[in-house]
């Protein structure tokens, strides 16, 4: 009964706030509603994963911003995780120098505010690059200058579909092979070196497919025309700086999490594995890491969430993420602060929840299976 009252009160309060807001907006002559999402945006965006031009709608600008946020978060998470695991393991290395260097890395990057690191990469490092005319050239088709990192862009030609098809086939084959190998080991005790064979399949099949279809791929090489390079692919300095800052910073936290996770597995486990005749490699892979992962995953999740939310610092350096494009430019050009901020908050909430859900699912999978 009491709970029903509370819920009722909360709902009534919510309705009151919404009504009051709409009344206020109307009496102040401020536009409200979501109609603006379909009107023409009129401004350009430097980086877009989908088709976008000044003639596109504000709604489309929202997707451009969201995808840019997801792009930097996804790449950032991958880089931070790889770097974090390497540093975390290095921190425990028996080699004094390696361990100390890892410790120094962690202490440095964990203790400097992220925004400062971002400014360091963007303003001090990437702004010091030469102008397009004086680009640093690698090989003769990769260029680095103050406007970005330009590489050739692969252009698929007729028959290209064979290659992705081969990749898919390779993945399926590897999955089947793994299941077969497990079953065989369970039944006969014979191990099978899935890793080498899988690598062979995963690389071999696509290469074979490429050869069979006559390498149906050409390259669009960037070239200096007028003010800037055109053609090819470009990684803009704003994205580079954001990736560097986010992954280096977050990696220092992940490294500590990894170290704690490994230390949490008692040394007795390793000794027990050795005395059963397991070699160090399989011991790490089959005994230590699975147990460490149970300790690592929950805090790792919150690092992933942090990284995603921190990506909103993008607006400080002109990277067109959701906050910069939507909660920045769109908000300002339409003046519809309430709608825009509400949508933005809902998006961050959704993305965070999705990441948590995924990590919870993964955590369950990795959890100790009681037999």
Partner 1 sequence: MRTSTRLSVSVAAVAMAGILWAGPVNAGQTMDSVKSKGFVQCGVNTGLPGFSNADEKGHWRGIDVDVCRAVAAAVLGDATKVKFTPLTAKERFTALQSGEIDMLSRNTTWTVTRDAALGVHFAGVTYYDGQGFLVNKKLGVKSAKELDGASICVQTGTTTELNMGDYFRANKMQYTPVVFEKGDEAVAAYDSGRCDVFTSDQSQLYAQRIKLKSPKNHLVLPEVISKEPLGPVVRQGDDEWFNIVKWSLFAMVNAEEMGVNSQNVANIRKTTQDPAMKRLLGLEGDKGKDLKVSNDWVFNIVSQVGNYAESFERNVGGGSPLNIARGLNALWKDGGLQYAPPVR
Site residues, partner 1 (CB under 8 A):
17, 20-21, 23-25, 27-31, 42-46, 53-55, 115, 127, 131, 146-147, 225-228, 230, 237-238, 312-316, 318, 320, 323-324, 327-329, 331-338, 341, 344
Give dist(CA 286, CA 11) in Å, integer.
Answer: 52
Residue 20 or 269: the one with the smaller Cβ distance to partner 1 is 20
**Nearest distance from residue 45's CB to partner 1, in Å?**
7
**Nearest distance from residue 358's CB to partner 1, in Å?**
25
Residue 12 or 17: the one with the smaller Cβ distance to partner 1 is 17
Residue 291 or 344: the one with the smaller Cβ distance to partner 1 is 344
**Nearest distance from residue 13's CB to partner 1, in Å?**
12
Q: Which residues contact 365 (CB under 8 A, 6 or more apart)?
A: none
Q: What is the per-residue burial (b if ≥16 Cβ within 10 Å, else e) of 89-122? A: bbbeeeeeeeeeebeebbeebeeeebeebbbebb
Contact assessment for residue 171 and residue 182, using Cβ atoms and an 8 Å cutoff: no
Within 13 Å and on the Cβ side, how many CA atoms surround 250?
Answer: 29
Q: Among candidates 236, 243, 282, 287, which has minimal Cα distance to 266? A: 287
Residue 9 or 92: the one with the smaller Cβ distance to partner 1 is 9
Residue 113 or 189: the one with the smaller Cβ distance to partner 1 is 113
Residue 133 or 267: the one with the smaller Cβ distance to partner 1 is 133
**Nearest distance from residue 92's CB to partner 1, in Å?**
35
Give dist(CA 115, CA 120) in Å, integer.
Answer: 9
**Nearest distance from residue 144's CB to partner 1, in Å?**
14
**Nearest distance from residue 210's CB to partner 1, in Å?**
34
**Longest C-alpha distance within the chain, in Å?**
80
Give dist(CA 244, CA 271) in Å, integer.
Answer: 39
């Amino acid at each position: 009964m009491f709970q029903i009252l509370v819920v009722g009160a909360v709902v009534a309060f919510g309705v009151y706030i919404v009504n009051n807001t709409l009344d206020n907006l109307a009496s102040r002559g401020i536009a409200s509603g979501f109609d603006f999402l379909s009107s023409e945006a009129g401004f350009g965006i430097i980086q877009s994963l989908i088709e976008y031009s000044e003639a596109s709608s504000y709604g489309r600008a929202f997707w451009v911003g969201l995808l840019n946020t997801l792009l930097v978060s996804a790449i950032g998470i991958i880089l931070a995780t790889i770097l974090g695991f390497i540093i975390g393991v290095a921190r425990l290395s028996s080699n004094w120098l390696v361990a100390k260097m890892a410790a120094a890395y962690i202490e440095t990057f964990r203790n400097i505010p992220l925004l400062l690191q971002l400014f360091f990469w963007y303003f001090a490092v990437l702004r010091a690059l030469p102008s397009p005319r004086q680009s640093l050239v690698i090989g003769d088709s990769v260029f680095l200058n103050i406007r970005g990192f330009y590489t050739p862009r692969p252009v698929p030609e007729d028959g290209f579909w064979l290659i992705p098809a081969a990749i898919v086939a390779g993945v399926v084959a590897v999955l089947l092979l793994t299941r077969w190998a497990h079953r065989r080991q369970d039944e006969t005790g014979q191990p099978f070196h899935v890793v080498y064979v899988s690598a062979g399949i995963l690389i071999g099949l696509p290469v074979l497919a490429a050869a069979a279809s006559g390498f149906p791929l050409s390259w669009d090489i960037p070239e200096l025309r007028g003010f800037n390079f055109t053609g090819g692919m470009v990684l803009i300095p704003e994205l580079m700086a954001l990736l560097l800052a986010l992954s280096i910073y977050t990696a220092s936290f992940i490294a500590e999490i990894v170290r704690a996770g490994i230390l949490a597995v008692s040394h007795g486990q390793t000794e027990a594995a050795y005395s059963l005749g397991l070699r160090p490699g399989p011991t790490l892979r089959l005994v230590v890491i699975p147990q460490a992962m149970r300790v690592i995953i929950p805090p790792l999740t919150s690092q992933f969430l942090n990284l995603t939310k921190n990506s909103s610092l993008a607006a400080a350096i002109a990277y067109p993420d959701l906050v910069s494009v939507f909660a920045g430019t769109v908000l300002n050009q339409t003046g519809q602060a309430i709608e825009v901020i509400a949508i933005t908050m809902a998006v961050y909430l959704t993305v965070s929840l999705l990441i948590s859900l995924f990590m919870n699912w993964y955590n369950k999978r990795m959890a100790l299976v009681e037999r």
